[in-house]
Structure 1
Amino acid sequence: MADAISVTGAFTRAEGKDATFETGLLAPLAGGAVTARMGDTVVLVTATGAKSPREGADFFPLTVDVEERMYAAGRIPGSFFRREARAGEQAILTCRLIDRPLRPSFPDGFRNEVHVVATVLGADQSHPYDIIALNAASLALCISPIPFDGPIGAVRLAWSSSGEWVPFPTYEEGESSAFEMVVAGRLADDDVAVMMVEAGGTSTTWELYSDGTPKVDEDVLAGGLEAAKTWIREMIELQQQMIDAVGAVDKMVPPLALDHSDEILAAVRESAADRIAATQQIADKTERQEAEAALSGQVIAELEARFGDDPAAAKQISSAIRAVTKQAVRSRIVAEGIRIDGRSPNQLRPLMCRVGVIPTAHGSGLFQRGETQVLNFTTLGIGRSDMLIDDLSPTEKKRYFHHYNFPPFCTGETGFMRGPKRREIGHGALAERAVFPVVPGFEDWPYTVRTVSEVMASNGSSSMASVCGSTLSLMDAGVPIKAPVAGVAMGLVHADGAWVTLTDILGAEDAFGDMDFKVAGTTDFITALQLDTKIAGIPASVLADALRQAHSARLDILDVMAETIIEPRPDVRDTAPKISSFEIPVEKIGEVIGPKGKVINAIQSETGADISVDDDGAVGIVA
């Protein structure tokens, strides 16, 4: 039995938030296993890799799972069987948070299955587990035989009421802040390159801004990205201490998949480069895809006989066509400043907005940007309609929530519809986070609010279209939001030493680019941000410029939305419930309810109203 190795580190301006990593005690048969601790929150993260590539895989099969164990918080699961079942929303979002910065750090062509599992063993209801789990996942991979170009460091920052970035905030510090941001990065020479950002406002955002807290605009956010480098560097240094203590690890040297040979790539370039480039000048998505499919068939037919000795020739030719297509798109953007649909890098697609689309809905809004179209619905309910939360966080319920649906027909494809996938949950959470800061509090407006985005067509940035659609439908429903919110997806192409930022990216530009960067906000401040890269990292200065370009686009979108509906309707629609609320003395609650509910039930029966009485004396009447 090997001796346990443990390292502990403190962080700048983070008193009482030391992190401890330990290996050698738990899960000794896993490829790499690290137990991470901050406060009394404890997470075991394991990383295990298959010894050989997955048969026929043309992608990297990385899976990240988060197992929330209710015993970690001293609770018994609330389900019928009293056992944890499928992962909840928070666990799924943490899976995505861990996956995104790790994925670009594996070798190109690596096709071995890799499974990262984070099991929450202790949850002190003070320190969130997701950030230490992300750092522990990086460390577990580094000390495992799996080839991984790490370590990767991550930190959460909270923008305090005094206008300072607080590192590794507790739940309480996060809830009392105006904005929270997770940043992950890696060392790049003497700098830290940003690889992932996830950020959003809080329930107190508007209140704090009204009281004088500096607003998180593009400049403040850029400063936060720069500030994050200090703690990312310190977290990487702590991981490196353990890596050094563990010593050299025999890394597996797996065969790397070759999508296409150099000979086939050269042949495709020679025979079809000009024809491929021509297909990437067709603006309409359907027409372009039809032209691509027809040309692909022609090129495969022309070259397959030439490489007939290779049984995978057709597949390699198809892969080479995609490589040449990607190069053509990127070269045109960098050299000529012209995109697939003819736009300049900073140009939006045509916009269209409508409200009141469905007469029975409490509120509905249709938002279309180019070929991306989202129909959003708002439904209003009473307090007992709040979403109940049963996870390891202190949150017990939500009164504003957003759901996002992405059916196969929205991309012109067939497929199975078996409930929301991880991507849909992630996109829904992003749109929810973007709008949440402007939704009125229960004290000001006693409704539960659910918004649902139905993606009708998708060619890039349906999540940001969902943000715009949510704003439209909320105002159509008469929800007195504090300010309209809009969002836009940005892209980035890095070639020949140049960085070109793209506004309002197409689906193909997302696939062929180096970054997917989504920003939402009002005219004055940012409410949500999400960034993912496909390369080793992006300089903070480049991100700052992209933020400023996104701000200009956001203002243009808000102007178009204002032409359709400039402010919330003065009252809820006739189809929505009418809620009146007031307070009664706590000692009178028993008289209102009556013995076994006799009084309140009689009132409800005679009037047809739905009456709720909270423990604090708040009374809600729904007619």
Structure 2
Amino acid sequence: MHHSVSRFIGTANLTFESGKLAKLADGSVTVRSGDTIILVAAVSATALKEGQDFFPLTVDYREKAAAAGKFPGGYFKREGRPSEKETLTARMTDRPLRPLFPKGYFYDTQVMSVLLSADGENDADILSINGASAALAVSDIPFDGPIGAVRVARINGEFVVNPTHTQRQASDLDLVYAGNWDDVIMIEGAANEMAEEDFIRALEFAHPFVREIISAQKELAERAGKPKRQAELIAVREELLEVAYQVAGNRIEAALYTPGKVARSKAVDALRKEVEAAILQRYPDATPFDISQAFDYLQKKAFRVSVL
């Protein structure tokens, strides 16, 4: 069944539609702003690969020549490898989505964005982020979303949301802001010698529009969404983590910040071997994967504490 939800953002309607294309995907939507249209489909495996110890998420974005009413010419009459813009847009789509999958969700997952139509004024990168969020929201894939994304420009001292290409030429700010209902998740951009206070105002300006986009996705999910699947999540064994903390908790940070790449690698490996020996002594049934999970968690927490 076809469903459509729109919100007026900036100077154009932002429209989410589902039920027409990619019906066999776990979740799919088309997103439209002006005459720029993008299709986003999301799929995720229902079975874990044996020995899988990370989250294999693939996010891809492609611009077909047909989106501009052309077909590839010259010697190679087919689509080429991803351009720099396609690669950067795929990464921009990936970054705000990746942290929102459940911890321990290690199922193969793909989010594919394809530009169907380009009007030359409304850029598709913002549509790709919003479309990916909407596709996951209507799917049965576990996802702590939706999120919203907007671009903010500043023209003659006034902030403009989702500016056209023409407007961006006169702007001294190019900010991409992605967030959930309460917080910012990702910012990316550049500015021409902007004061910190003005940049903060740009972030505050963006967030109400993000909420509008999120409300549209929630409305679409209520109409067309599937119940979320119950997936097995891979968790670190608490008893192994406790042993890892006892052995290396007070020394891991010093090892991670040892000067010199070779010396640092040796220090971390020595700690890893100590942790492995201690765990196997107390829990002989622990697998190499279990031990690796516990030590990696220890490293990540040490990094996070030092950064924050």
Q: For this structure pair, what is the TM-score category when the shorter chain's length is used for normalisation?
A: over 0.9
Amino acid at match of 2:264: R
- Secondary structure at the counterpart of residue 62 of structure 2: strand
Q: Say which of 240, 243, 253 aligns to 2:221.
A: 243
Matched, 1:252 2:252: no
Tell me: CA distance 1:225–1:246, structure 2 relative to 1, closer, same or farther (3 Å).
Answer: same
Matches within 5 A, 1:362-441: none
Report if the CA contact (8 A) 2:7-2:216 is conserved.
yes
Report if the CA contact (8 A) 1:53-1:110 is conserved.
no
Partner of 1:178: 172
Distance 1:83 1:267 in 2: 56
Matched, 1:319 2:293: yes
Q: Say which of 134, 143, 164 aligns to 2:138.
A: 143
Distance 1:176 1:110 in 2: 44
- Secondary structure at the counterpart of residue 53 of structure 2: coil
Report deviation, 1:263. 1.3
Tell me: CA distance 1:129–1:324, structure 2 relative to 1, closer, same or farther (3 Å).
Answer: closer
- Secondary structure at the counterpart of residue 77 of structure 1: coil
Partner of 1:38: 33
Q: Say which of 85, 90, 100 aligns to 2:80.
A: 85
Identity of counterpart residues, as a percentage? 40
Report if the CA contact (8 A) 1:53-1:254 is conserved.
no
What is the root-mean-square deviation in Å for CA atoms of aligned residues?
A: 1.9
Q: Say which of 97, 103, 111 aligns to 1:102.
A: 97
Report if the CA contact (8 A) 2:89-2:125 is conserved.
yes
Partner of 1:118: 113
Report deviation, 1:324. 3.0
Distance 2:151 2:300 in 1: 34
Report if the CA contact (8 A) 2:53-2:289 is conserved.
no
Report if the CA contact (8 A) 1:9-1:238 is conserved.
yes
Matches within 5 A, 1:408-557: 492-493=307-308
TM-score between both structures, scaled by the size of structure 2: 0.93
Amino acid at match of 2:291: I
Distance 1:79 1:103 in 2: 38
Report deviation, 1:281. 5.8
Distance 1:85 1:280 in 2: 42
Partner of 2:186: 196
The structure with more helix, counted as a fraction of residues = 2
Amino acid at match of 1:163: G
- Secondary structure at the counterpart of residue 10 of structure 1: strand
Tell me: CA distance 1:47–1:279, structure 2 relative to 1, closer, same or farther (3 Å).
Answer: same
Amino acid at match of 1:200: A
Matched, 1:295 2:268: no
Distance 2:222 2:194 in 1: 39
Q: Say which of 222, 229, 233 aligns to 2:207.
A: 229
Tell me: CA distance 1:79–1:220, structure 2 relative to 1, closer, same or farther (3 Å).
Answer: farther
Tell me: CA distance 1:110–1:81, structure 2 relative to 1, closer, same or farther (3 Å).
Answer: same
Report if the CA contact (8 A) 2:137-2:218 is conserved.
no
Tell me: CA distance 1:219–1:277, structure 2 relative to 1, closer, same or farther (3 Å).
Answer: closer
Distance 1:96 1:253 in 2: 28
Tell me: CA distance 1:317–1:159, structure 2 relative to 1, closer, same or farther (3 Å).
Answer: same
Amino acid at match of 2:181: L
- Secondary structure at the counterpart of residue 18 of structure 1: strand
Matched, 1:68 2:42: no
Q: Say which of 238, 243, 247 aligns to 1:262.
A: 238
Report deviation, 1:83. 1.2
Deviations, residues 142-183 of structure 1 (Å, cap 9, x unaligned): 1001001111000011111x1111111111111221221110
Partner of 1:617: none
Q: Say which of 25, 28, 43 aligns to 2:23.
A: 28
- Secondary structure at the counterpart of residue 132 of structure 2: helix
Partner of 2:6: 8
Amino acid at match of 1:88: S
Report if the CA contact (8 A) 2:152-2:161 is conserved.
yes
Partner of 1:165: 159
Report if the CA contact (8 A) 1:43-1:119 is conserved.
yes
Matched, 1:218 2:218: no
Matches within 5 A, 1:567-582: none
Tell me: CA distance 1:270–1:29, structure 2 relative to 1, closer, same or farther (3 Å).
Answer: same
Report deviation, 1:327. 4.0
- Secondary structure at the counterpart of residue 197 of structure 1: strand
Distance 1:221 1:327 in 2: 30
Amino acid at match of 2:51: G
Amino acid at match of 1:173: Q
Distance 2:76 2:231 in 1: 43
- Secondary structure at the counterpart of residue 105 of structure 2: coil
- Secondary structure at the counterpart of residue 157 of structure 1: strand
The structure with higher relative contact order (CA 8 Å, sep 6+) is 2
- Secondary structure at the counterpart of residue 99 of structure 1: helix
Report if the CA contact (8 A) 2:65-2:79 is conserved.
yes
- Secondary structure at the counterpart of residue 51 of structure 1: coil
Distance 2:33 2:3 in 1: 17
Report deviation, 1:250. 2.1
Report deviation, 1:326. 4.1
Tell me: CA distance 1:98–1:79, structure 2 relative to 1, closer, same or farther (3 Å).
Answer: farther
Report deviation, 1:292. 1.4
Aligned length: 308
Distance 1:255 1:65 in 2: 26
Distance 1:278 1:45 in 2: 44
Report deviation, 1:50. 0.8
Report if the CA contact (8 A) 1:8-1:20 is conserved.
yes
Amino acid at match of 2:160: V
Report deviation, 1:296. 1.5
Distance 2:303 2:8 in 1: 46
- Secondary structure at the counterpart of residue 187 of structure 1: coil
- Secondary structure at the counterpart of residue 52 of structure 1: coil
